A and B are shown apart, each in its own frame.
Chain A
Amino acid sequence: GNSVTQMEGPVTLSEEAFLTINCTYTATGYPSLFWYVQYPGEGLQLLLKATKADDKGSNKGFEATYRKETTSFHLEKGSVQVSDSAVYFCALSDWNAGKSTFGDGTTLTVKP
């Protein structure tokens, strides 16, 4: 079956540091890949997505590239802010079934 493995957290960074959160996946076929963000006390919201190999998703300074050869979709941001503190989930969707598989989430804390 499908699976998503994320870098374990928590991750603590200073403001303006570079962020990488690793994500690798196992899937049959050609899934779409997503990063979702969850702020405290809220539901998940889509951060960015990529639907085919070599696509780069980007939003709010975050970006991730769909790498089919390494089955990866690592999240990066060049300079994090305190407001980026949240839980980040990597996910893939199965076009055949309309379902998504989520990683366990990575908690990011950014200190001033």
Chain B
Amino acid sequence: NAGVTQTPKFRVLKTGQSMTLLCAQDMNHEYMYWYRQDPGMGLRLIHYSVGEGTTAKGEVPDGYNVSRLKKQNFLLGLESAAPSQTSVYFCASSFEGGPYEQYFGPGTRLTVT
């Protein structure tokens, strides 16, 4: 069991460039989440999904899009990167039906210059 994996681990973008972060889980979890972690601000939810083909906005969705075409994958897209999107991005997943303990990936460190 690989658990939750994230690709890539590191990335540097120039302002205005686009990219997609990939999250994959092999635990057959229904729910998946994307967070960003910034110093002193804890974890903030960007988008989440409660099942294949569904997505919903979290606390800080602006500037990001997501897709959940397959149950095991959850993609996070940045269409036009901005320096304010410099952060560490974490993907997580959980079983349906509670208590919703989350399993996290190792993170992607993104720098936008």
Contacts and interface: CB of A to CB of B under 8 A. Distances in A.
B99 A43 contact: no
A93 B98 contact: yes
Interface string A65-105: 00000000000000000000000010001110011101111
Secondary structure class of chain A's binding surface, majority of residues? strand
A32 interface: yes
Contacts, number: 62
Chain A: interface size category? 20 to 34
Interface size class of B (residues with CB under 8 A): 20 to 34
B100 A99 contact: yes
B106 interface: yes
A44 B104 contact: yes
Interface string B5-44: 0000000000000000000000000010100000011110
A34 interface: yes
B101 A34 contact: yes
Interface of A: 32, 34, 36, 42-46, 49, 51, 89, 93-95, 98-100, 102-105
